[in-house]
Amino acid sequence: MVDRDRLKNTDFKLENSYANLPSVFYTKQFPSYVLDPKIVILNKSLIKALDLNIDTLERDGAEIFSGNKLIEGSMPIAEAYAGHQFGHFTMLGDGRAVLLGEHITKEGKKVDIQLKGSGITPYSRGGDGKAALGPMIREYIISEAMNALGIPTTRSLAVVTTGESIAREKVEPGAILTRVASSHVRVGTFQYAARFASYEDLKELADYTINRHYPEAMNKENPYLFLLEEVSKRQGALIAKWLQVGFIHGVMNTDNVTISGETIDYGPCAFMDTYDPSTVFSSIDYQGRYAYGNQPYIIAWNLARFAETLVPLLSNNQDEAVDMAQNMVSRFNDIYKEMYLSGMRFKLGLFNEEREDENLIYDLLNLMHKNGADYTNTFRNLTLDKKCDIVMFETTEFSSWFNRWQERLNRQEKSKEEIIKLMKSVNPSVIPRNHLVEEAIEAAVKNNDYTVMNKLLEVLLRPYDYADYQEEYAKLPEPSKIPYRTFCGT
């Protein structure tokens, strides 16, 4: 592998501790050279958070974020992993991504810097390793919106165009997205180790993961059981937050479940408008496996696959190890449900817990489903005490529910101002509406116009403002006979 030009004095502090793992877990891989890289998006707030220099990146970013030049300290690799895709196990890996290294901030925080769409790797499985501009803009917009919503997520540092044309559902400009993550260790990474590597390799991966993400596990009697428990908690909290804002990931394969508990891979994702638990947007999810309402069950299934990989580490007695894994997985539903109901109480302005809260929450959701109510705007209007613009609000069933809710609010010792403040902090006034995201993508791809995207981002980065300027972005799209569909981008 022939080296290439390296840039010094960029403020990046790179190492690659992942490359200290056994070589079975990765392949050294340079990004492909691109013809004519141009920066189209730079995330200035993230640049500041990572202690990087905006002037340097405006000057050299096209070369850095295309991979044409490497940062000092970078040892680029493509990671190997496996996974269950729509329930079927397969060998995978970074088929169009290269990890440049791990940047260490002044506070000692370590984050992966990865180029997505950077060319063929040994794991490309017949693909071209490239990415089109539209899907990279989608990931940039939605990942930044998710971060603003307070949902753990990978983030987007930059998007560059490559000067190439990429054929997917249609021909688009080529692009590369720079993704920032706590790490890219996945459930699929552990599945890969359990299936294709040795016991010693699996243990090294687990120890590396604990050291990086769960160092407190080192003081526990059984660090690997603690790892399973903590990953389950983080994933339970994550999926609860997804459902609370109407987010549908679209492709919850085990290779898209991070051990850090961050949302990753924004291919066929979307936000739900009309509340319906069976909502699916992904063009390839024919059976609704990853529908909105199925997401808690799928993450439990994925965590069971993670637990299976840890069995050899949990105990020398296999029966005992299997019992440990099964007991932890069987507790997940209770873990998730507690987190989900807690968040839904907050959405209704409830500070404390009462036995009938669960019925109150699900009765509202059933009414929303029955009446075809918009998910986000229902809670937005309840927060603003606006019983208008939603047909459901005119029904006698809703009036009965509303009176129950008011009685429940009155039983807690909180002022109306405190209740509204709580509701405004968890019920977004705006979300990345699908039609708005598509308008931003279309303007960029067809007309090289990023003003639509930038204006949308300005609004999405303050989702809890409840300001007048958000009103236009809270409007619903015009009815369409064509179902909204999203695509994975590969």
DSSP label of 31: P
On the CB side of 375, CA atoms within 13 Å amount to 24
pLDDT number for residue 319? 97
Beta bridge partners of 181: 112
**pLDDT per residue as tens, the chain (490 positions):** 567 778 887 899 999 999 999 999 999 999 999 999 999 999 999 999 999 999 999 999 999 999 999 999 999 999 999 999 999 999 999 999 999 999 999 999 999 999 999 999 999 988 899 999 999 999 999 999 999 999 999 999 999 999 999 988 789 999 999 999 999 999 999 999 999 999 999 999 999 999 999 999 999 999 999 999 999 999 999 999 999 999 999 999 999 999 999 999 998 999 999 999 999 988 888 888 999 999 999 999 999 999 999 999 999 999 999 999 999 999 999 999 999 999 999 999 999 999 999 999 999 999 999 999 999 999 999 999 998 888 999 999 999 999 999 999 999 999 999 999 999 999 999 999 999 999 999 999 999 999 999 999 999 999 999 999 999 999 998 876 556 777 765 5
DSSP β-ladder status, 155-167 and 171-181: antiparallel
Task: State the burial class of residue 119 (Cβ atoms within 10 Å of its Cβ: 0-12, 13-18, 19+).
Answer: buried
Q: How far is CA 479 from CA 273, 277, 294, 458, in A?
A: 11, 19, 26, 26
pTM here is 0.95
Q: Which of 420, 423, 419 is nearest to 379 (CA)?
A: 423
Taking the C-alpha atoms of residue 431 and residue 460, their distance in angstroms, rounded to an integer, is: 6
Residues designated as active site: 255
Instruction: Say whether 308 sits in a helix, a strand or coil.
Output: helix
Strand runs labelled E in 373-414:
none
Q: For residue 216, what are the CA distances in angstroms to 50, 130, 213, 380? A: 25, 39, 9, 39
pLDDT at 482: 59
Triad 8, 26, 109: Cα angle to 5°: 50
Q: Name the amino acid, one letter, at 77.
A: I
Three-state SS for 34?
A: coil
Is there a contact between 76 and 85 (Cβ–Cβ < 8 Å)? no
